[in-house]
Structure 1
Amino acid sequence: MTEAPVHEDAAREASTPFAIRVDGLGVRFRRNRRGRRSFKDLLAGRSRRSRPGEFWALREVSFEVRPGEAIGVVGRNGQGKSTLLKLVAGVMLPDEGRVTVSGGVAPLIEITGGFVDDLTVRDNVYLTAGLHGMSKAQIDATFDDVIAFAEIGDFLDTPYKHLSSGMKVRIAFAVISQLEEPIMLVDEVLAVGDKAFREKCYRRIEELLAGGRTLFFVSHNERDLRRFCTRGLYLDKGRLALDAPIDEVLARYNSEYGGA
Structure 2
Amino acid sequence: MQLLGCHLLLFAADLPGFTRSTYSPDHALITPESRVWAGQPGWKNALTAHLISPASGASFSMFMAHMKPDSEAAPAPAETVERFILVLEGESQATSPEGKTVVLPTNHYAYFPPNTPARLRSATGAGLLVYERVYKAKGNPVFLHGYVEDSPLLATPGETFQLRKLLPQTTDYDFNIHIMDFNPGEYLNVKEVHYNQHGLMLLDGKGIYRLADKWYPIQAGDAIWMAPYVVQWYAALGTTPSRYIINKDTTVDPLFS
TM-score, with structure 2 as normaliser:
0.32
Greater helix share, structure number: 1
TM-score, with structure 1 as normaliser:
0.31
Greater strand share, structure number: 2
Greater relative contact order: 1 or 2 (C-alpha under 8 angstroms, separation 6 or more)?
1
